[in-house]
Structures are given as structure tokens and as C-alpha cells.
Amino acid sequence: MTGVTVKTVSRVVNGGARVSPETFQKVTDAIETLGFRRNEFARQLRQRTATTIGLLLTDLSDPFFGTMMRTVEDIALQKGYMLLVASSAEDPVRSVKTLASFAARGVTNVIMSAPSGIDTGIIKSELATGSNIVLVDRPIPELLLDTVLTDNFDGAARGTKHLLQHGHRRIAFFGDEPAVYTAGERRRGYESALLEAGIAVDPELICMGAPLSVDVHKVLDTFLSLADPPTAIFSGNNRWSVLLLRTLTEVHRSMAFVGFDDFELAELLVPGRTVMAQDPAEIGRMAVQMLFDRIEGARTPPRIVQLRSELVSRGSGEIGTRPLD
């Protein structure tokens, strides 16, 4: 119509292979002046895959995932991909439904943090139909997939050792529900550090559960009224840290403290909060890189990449043991 060509346009839009330079130029100009935009629906209907990455995270409002999202977006954008995001709220059923919605939209490339108890059946069938899935933050034990996560065991062990080095022998541990992979690993790391120091693990000093489902005041009271109460706390995640710090303030009680996960303003509290910091940006970067490797056809066996966490000393972990009130 306009110029002279018909569907050579397609070839041009897709990189101009097998098109003469002059035709290419002519078409390019026409596209420019007419404001033509390729319809992604039609393209994707034909090609059976979308230039969209599905991002399924446990919680969109968690700054950890926020940072990850931003990194993933930056890299995806460079390759012309956009992000379809969704949250699982740790619900395996919701996760599976979301994966199905992704599939219905042709989103065959997914980065996800899988809740425990997720049905591996659907995941396997997605993979069988050519989907690419990269796991972040936690693996799926029954399934070997590309995975990027922090070395939780190691981080918790080093954090606990840090407290041990400052003389603590009674260290309380707070963590998420045992079913949550990271919670289990961190607890194992904590226990391993204790055992290595020749200290028996005391179940009376361990509290596992979703932070909001636990009566923190009561648990702390119980811990503190033990014959041999804890002099330090290892907090297994951010939400626990916030809750514990709040509660400790209320009962006018300060203890040595190390938490997993960094948080903003941790250095402005008194004392500054010592943490094992993860690197969500790096996790995102590696995950999206591994995903594009797959998209571009990599056939190597799945890899699990563990990132080291960093001990950030700010004061709260360096409080020595001291006599009790």
C-alpha cells in the first residue's frame, strides 16, 4: 500500500535478515512516519511465547523483593521483556493458580520464590512444555531447577558465632514456620554453630512460627524467666527483628542482637543493629541472567547458586554478656 512492500515489514521489524539495505531503510522510514507498532498479541499468538517474564514472589511489599524486582526489570528491559508480577503470600495453591495464569498468557519464562508445599506436578508439566523457571530465595527440595539464593545455613552459623565470640552461651533463636525453607536452614546454621562451640541446643530457647501468629510478649517473658535466661537473640528474619525490637523496647530490656536480613535505618537505632545482610539486587541479577541463558537455548544441567551473606557490625551484636537485672 504505502511504500510498495507487503509483509517484508515483518522481516524488517525482526532484525532485517534477508532484506536489502534499501528496502530496509524504506520500510523503517515508513514505520517511523506512520507510527506503526507491532501488535504483540498476534506475534505471540503465532510464536506461542510472550516477551514477558513472570515474577512470582511471596510478598510484593517486602523491600527485599522490591530491590530484586528493580534489578530484574532493568535487565529484562534491555532485552525487550516486561514483567508480569504476582505474589503468592506463601500459599502453594495460589502459586499454582498464578503459574496457570502465566501459562494462559503465554508467559513461559518465570522467576519465582516458591512457597513450601507447592505441587511439583504443575511445575513439571510447565517445564515439559518448554517453560523456563528460575527459583530465587529458596529451592524446591524435590526438584532440581536453576536456583539463586543466599547461603542461609552459613549466614546463620556465622551470625551465631559472632555472638558466641562475644561471650554469649545462652542465645535465643526466633524464626519463621519450620515449613519455610529459609527458616529451617537458618535454624540448622544456628544449631551447628552452637554445637561446634560445645554448647547443647536448648529447645526452650527456640521459637519458630509466623511472627504475627505468636504472642511475642509471652514468649519473651518465658525466655527471660528461665533459670538460665538468654543473654542474646538471633532473629531469623526481618519481620521477626522488627517485632522483637519493638517488644524489647516495651519491656525496657536490651540484649545482644543479630538479625538475618538488613533493614533501612538499622544503623540509627541505639545500639545499631548488627545483621547478616543478603544482597537482593545480586540475587535478581543472577536469576534473570540464568533465565535468559535458558531462553537463548542453554542446555546445561540446572545450577544452584548460593550467595554469601555479609556480617554488618553496628553494635547490637557486639554487646558482651553481662549480669542480669
Partner DNA sequence: GTGAAAGCGCTAACAG
Partner DNA sequence: CTGTTAGCGCTTTCAC
Among a second copy, DNA, none, partner that 59 touches (CB below 5 to 8 angstroms by kind): a second copy
Strand arrangement, sheet containing 171-175: 206-208, 171-175, 232-235, 256-260, 274-277, 310-312
* One residue of 33, 34, 35, 39 binding DNA per CB under 7 A: 39
Binding test (CB under 7 A) with DNA, winner from 1, 32, 35, 46: 46
Burial letters 154-178, b for 16+ CB under 10 A, else e = bbbbbbbbbbbebebebbbbbbbee
User: Is 35 buried (19+), middle (13-18) or exposed (0-12) by CB count in 10 A?
Assistant: exposed
Question: Which position among 1, 32, 33, 42 is part of the footprint of DNA (CB under 7 A)?
Answer: 42
Could you say which of DNA, a second copy, none residue 93 binds, taking C-beta under 5 to 8 angstroms by partner kind?
Answer: none
| Contact (Cβ atoms closer than 8 angstroms) between residue 112 and residue 53 | no
Give the contact letters, 61-100, x = binds to a second copy (CB under 8 A), - = no.
Answer: xxx-xxx-xx--x---x----xxxxxx------------x
Question: Going by DSSP bridges, is the β-strand pair 109-112/132-136 parallel, antiparallel, or unpaired?
Answer: parallel
Q: Is the dihedral of CA 239, 178, 282, 191 positive or negative?
A: positive
Size of the site for DNA (CB under 7 A): 26
The site string for a second copy over 251-290 (x = CB under 8 A, - otherwise) reads ------------xxx-xxxx--------------------
C-alpha cell recorded at residue 90: 506463601
CB of 244 within 8 A of CB of 185?
A: no
Residue 58, SS3?
coil
Residue 13 touches DNA, criterion: CB under 7 A: yes
- Which one of 43, 94, 169, 170 is in contact with DNA (CB under 7 A)? 43
- Residues contacting a second copy: total by CB under 8 A: 45
Binding residues for a second copy, rule: CB under 8 A, are 37-42, 44-45, 50, 52, 59-63, 65-67, 69-70, 73, 77, 82-87, 100-101, 103-106, 242, 245-246, 249, 263-265, 267-270
